[in-house]
Amino acid sequence: MGVILESKELSKVYSVDKENKQDILKNVNLQINKGEFVSVMGPSGSGKSTLLYNISGMDRLTSGSVQFNGQEISTFSEQELSTLRLNKMGFIFQQIHLLKNLNIFDNIVLSAYLAKKDSRKSINKRATELMKRTNISSLADHDVTQASGGQLQRVAICRALINQPDIVFGDEPTGALNSKSADEVMEILADINQTGTTIMLVTHDVKVAAKTERILYMLDGNIVGEYQLGKYRKEKNDSRAREEEVSRWLMKLGF
């Protein structure tokens, strides 16, 4: 299978001012395998988002190492990092940052036009397929203001996938959605994972974590537990049992 992402002794210190420094990540060692679907849980302030930003090259670590596909990325320049993020990584956030002056289709294809890896014709074809897969084809020429939160989050998924990334990172990707839309988004992500894309997301929601394959638990800047759930398969119809399994594990950890 092989490792896609690895951190070794990853530390992040925030300096509030000269005297006040906060150790937010404390020597985090983490490995994510190619094709895995991993979630990160833990109390508020435990460092989940900070971990996501530091291992995805969106923020700079204070010390330690992060390797992506065997390449040390902590020493990359800003330009190298931005090229890496554009071509190899996709991002989905709780707040959907779409451009209001572009319609939904153009929001999805924009980063692929910028990456210039493929012709516009093949990018448009891919966008059309992604929109079909996420059930938002009818929204192509709509304004972003004309779509619901759940629909916009699907737009964000299409946008995250348009450059065929090796890995997709999500920071509370369902956090702003009602439970039906959250469920639909998770089904889409599970489906995308099953076609080979690695996914790592941060969540507070047991229902979300229960659709992932391995759950990491963060406490006070470190990973203090992990749980192997195995791949979620819709046809097994065991969402409830998985949620109960995760809840029992979290209770043992005092969550």
Name the residue nearer to ligand ATP (CB basis): 46 or 222.
46
For residues 137 and 128, the answer to whether their CB atoms sit within 8 Å is yes
Q: Which is nearer to ligand ATP, 46 or 134 (CB)?
A: 46
- Which tokens is 251 given? 């209770």
State the distance between the two ends of the chain, measured CA to CA, in whole angstroms.
Answer: 32
Burial class (CB in 10 A: 0-12, 13-18, 19+), 52: buried
State in angstroms the smallest separation of the CB of 25 from ligand ATP: 8
- Beta carbon nearer to ligand ATP, 127 or 206: 206
Task: Compute the distance between CA of residue 58 and CA of residue 28 in angstroms, rounded to an integer.
Answer: 17
Residue 92 CB, shortest distance to ligand ATP, in Å, is 15
| Torsion angles phi and psi, residue 180, rounded to 5 | -65, -50
User: HSE (CB half, 13 Å, CA atoms) of 69?
Assistant: 9
The DSSP 8-state label assigned to residue 63 in this structure reads E
- Cα–Cα distance between 233 and 111 in angstroms, integer? 31
What's the closest the beta carbon of residue 155 comes to ligand ATP, in angstroms? 23
* Beta carbon nearer to ligand ATP, 52 or 147: 52
Point out which residues bind ligand ATP (CB under 6 A): 14, 22, 24, 42, 44-50
Q: How far is the CB of 202 from ligand ATP (least distance, A)?
A: 6
Least gap, CB of 159 to ligand ATP (angstroms): 22
Smallest gap from Cβ 68 to ligand ATP, in A, equals 20
Please state, as a whole number, how many other Cβ atoms lie within 10 Å of the Cβ of residue 207: 18
- Residue 108: partners with Cβ closer than 8 Å, 6 or more residues away: 127, 130, 131, 155, 158, 159, 162
Taking the C-alpha atoms of residue 65 and residue 8, their distance in angstroms, rounded to an integer, is 5
**Residue 164 DSSP label:** -
User: At its nearest, how many Å lie between ligand ATP and the CB of residue 120?
Assistant: 37
Please identify, using beta-carbon distances, which residue of 141 and 220 lies nearer to ligand ATP.
220
User: Residue 52 or 123: which CB sits closer to ligand ATP?
Assistant: 52
